[in-house]
Amino acid sequence: MLLIGGPGSGKGTQGTRLAEIYRVEHVAAGDLLRAEIAAQTDLGRQVSDLVTRGELVPDQLVLDLVVPRLLAAAAAGGFIVDGFPRSAGQAAAARRITEEHNIAAQVAVNIVVERDDLIARLLHRARIEGRPDDTIDVISDRLDVFDRTVAPLLEFYGERGLLVTVHGSGPPEDVTAQIVHAVGQAME
Ligand code: AP5
């Protein structure tokens, strides 16, 4: 399963919950990138400024980081991936590779939340966690990047009949229930 949604839409929150329900691995592109930055690897140094500014990391770097995790997770039973793919280029490349291994995503869930709610959530998180990209200016830029890039992704999965959309503004448990219901229907 792929989780698509704006910054703060609950991809990470839902990814954790859904991974427990479906007993598969939760792979979060942002977490993997932040781990590389924290460990000061070559990749981490290359992407640090981009992530801090809320810009997308080049497709090939993300593919090299995320796809091996998906292959490993699939071998262990499956995956919920959040924050990947984030461009039509990533989607096409990931689809090609995962289809070769017969482990392509079966469903893509688009979690929709109003922009004002997203900003409020991320500013609230900023006071608790202090993520460097949770400043008001970078939040605004991240939302703009998402708005500019999401349409081709939705089209990619929509035209393959893999896309379901849920409203992510209710309590997390309600959003999880909506996703489980929508995914169940989509996969009947
Ligand atoms: P990433 O870490 O994926 O950040 P993001 O997309 O901005 O999403 P967030 O992690 O901020 O939010 P989320 O949707 O996971 O929501 P969460 O559950 O945390 O990516 C960071 C950066 O890495 C990107 O900007 C880019 O630079 C780079 N990057 C990552 N992937 C890439 C890719 N594929 N290609 C290129 N570059 C890439 O929830 C947010 C807050 O809201 C939390 O405090 C949570 O407790 C709260 N919350 C969650 N659900 C609810 C709810 N239902 N009601 C109330 N509060 C809620």
Of all protein residues, the one whose alpha carbon is nearest to atom 55 of ligand 1 is 171
H helical segments located in 23-114: 29-38, 42-53, 59-75, 88-100
Q: How far is CA 169 from CA 3, 58, 115, 119, 178, in A?
A: 15, 30, 11, 12, 11
Kindly give the number of the ligand 1 atom that is closest to the alpha carbon of 174.
53
> Is residue 164 classed as helix, strand or coil in its secondary structure?
strand
The tens digit of pLDDT for each residue in 150-159 reads 999 999 999 9
**For residues 100-106, average pLDDT:** 95
Average pLDDT of span 41-70: 98
Band of the pLDDT at 19, cuts 50, 70, 90?
Answer: very high
Q: Model-level pTM greater than 0.85?
A: yes
Ligand 1 nearest atom to the CA of residue 83, by list position = 3
pLDDT exceeds 90 at position 29 = yes
Task: Report whether pLDDT(85) > 90.
Answer: yes
pLDDT at residue 155 in the model: 97
> Which pLDDT band, with edges at 50, 70 and 90, does 80 fall under?
very high
| Residue 134, pLDDT score | 97
- Ligand 1 pocket check for 17: Cβ under 6 Å: no
Closest ligand 1 atom to the C-alpha of 90? 34
- The band of 188, judged by pLDDT with boundaries at 50, 70 and 90, is confident
15 pocket-lining for ligand 1 (C-beta < 6 Å): no
Ligand 1 site, residue 29, Cβ cutoff 6 A: yes
Average pLDDT, the chain: 97
User: Around Cβ 113, how many Cβ atoms within 10 Å?
Assistant: 20
The per-residue pLDDT for 11 is: 98
Indicate whether 100 pLDDT > 90.
yes
What was the pLDDT predicted at 5?
98
Q: Kindly indicate the confidence band of residue 140, based on its pLDDT and cuts at 50, 70 and 90.
A: very high
